[in-house]
Amino acid sequence: MLEAAAVLHDVGYSPDLAKTGFHPLDGARYLRDTVGGDPRVVGLVAHHSCAWMEAEARGLREELEAEFPRPPASLIDAVTYCDMNTTPDGTPTNPVDRVNEIAGRYGPDSLIGTFIRRAEPEILASTARVLERLAAAAR
């Protein structure tokens, strides 16, 4: 399930299914309505990488939260970890560089640039929690 969510999390960027321009919502609606995807995977796509903060900036938070209940935080953390440790072309990276790359790509004053800086502390905390869980599991 996590692998599926990690692979599909940005499907909402596809021009063929983009409706609102907010990719977590567009992707989750596509997976729910067209594909009939597992609700757990759909929920993770809807809520990956602090999507609620970008939804708020776009005036879509209520819509997002009403349609897609938030999955357990540990699962959102896991998908966010994957997202933030991989560049858009699939190269491994780290969360600090990834946030900087996003802010640089969209521009610091853009909606995405502002969102990602606001989300940065939570993104770093989320990815740190995954590392803590991995370390605890290895003990």
Select from 52, 62, 72 the least CA-distant residue to 122: 52
Q: Segment contacting Fe ion (CB under 5 A): 2-10, 31-39, 68-76, 92-100? A: 2-10
- The distance of closest approach from Cβ of residue 137 to Fe ion in the complex, given in angstroms and rounded to an integer, is 26
The answer to whether the CB of 37 falls within 8 A of the CB of 43 is no
The answer to whether the CB of 95 falls within 8 A of the CB of 82 is no
- Applying CB under 5 A, among 10, 38, 63, 67 the residue interacting with Fe ion is 10
The residue among 43 and 138 lying less far from Fe ion, judged by its C-beta, is 43
Token pair, residue 51, equals 């999507």
Amino acid sitting at position 88: P
How many residues touch Fe ion under the rule CB under 5 A: the total is 1
Binding residues for Fe ion, rule: CB under 5 A, are: 10
